[in-house]
Amino acid sequence: MHPEEYQLALADNAESVTSQRGSDASLMFYTQKVVEIYGWLNFVVDGLQPFSVTENSVFRKFSRHGSISCTILMKYLDSITKNVEKRIARKLPDRFSIAFDGWTCSSTHYVAIFASYFCFLHLRVKLAKVLIVTLTFSNLFIRI
């Protein structure tokens, strides 16, 4: 793994720890380049933005992140995707199933993703993620 990819993975983990407080203080130990790449990845993926937004000169003018090309952003996203796939492959056997469970509490909708498999004749079920789903008239937003 390239050092920048490693730092991006660490930054992602640190950000998830501090996301409840809404603070980017955990990113202060990383290089400026890593923080900027992470910022763009976070903005594009979590904000459901097109990758081309990184090349929009007007948008860049108002962004706190440095400039990055769509090609470079896609390179980092591809690298992170491959690393996540490897981590999942290490934790799950070759044969497993995925289950989705949805429910509503008040007006908040949730979807849980589970992976299940057999290990020595015992069923194992692992919670992969719980998503909060926000429905609007024009879009469906999933907050991860």
Phi, psi for 48 (deg, rounded to 5): 55, 40
- Which contacts of 73-78 are long-range, i.e. CB under 8 A and separated by 24 or more positions? 73/37, 73/40, 73/41, 73/44, 76/4, 76/5, 76/8, 76/37, 76/41, 77/41, 77/45
pLDDT at 116: 92
pLDDT at 6: 54
In degrees, rounded to 5, the angle at the alpha carbon of residue 41 between the alpha carbons of residues 52 and 102 is 105
* pLDDT tier, 21 (very low <50, low <70, confident <90, very high otherwise): very low
What is the rounded distance in angstroms from the CA atom of residue 79 to the CA atom of residue 126? 25
What is the rounded distance in angstroms from the CA atom of residue 142 to the CA atom of residue 144? 6
- Stretch among 36-50, 64-78, 93-107, 128-142 having the lowest mean pLDDT: 128-142
pLDDT at 52: 86
Mean of per-residue pLDDT scores for the chain? 77
Give the type of residue at 114. Answer: F
Q: Which residues pair with 113 in a beta bridge?
A: 100, 129
Query: How much is the pTM?
Result: 0.56
**Average pLDDT of span 96-114:** 88
**Average pLDDT of span 53-64:** 81
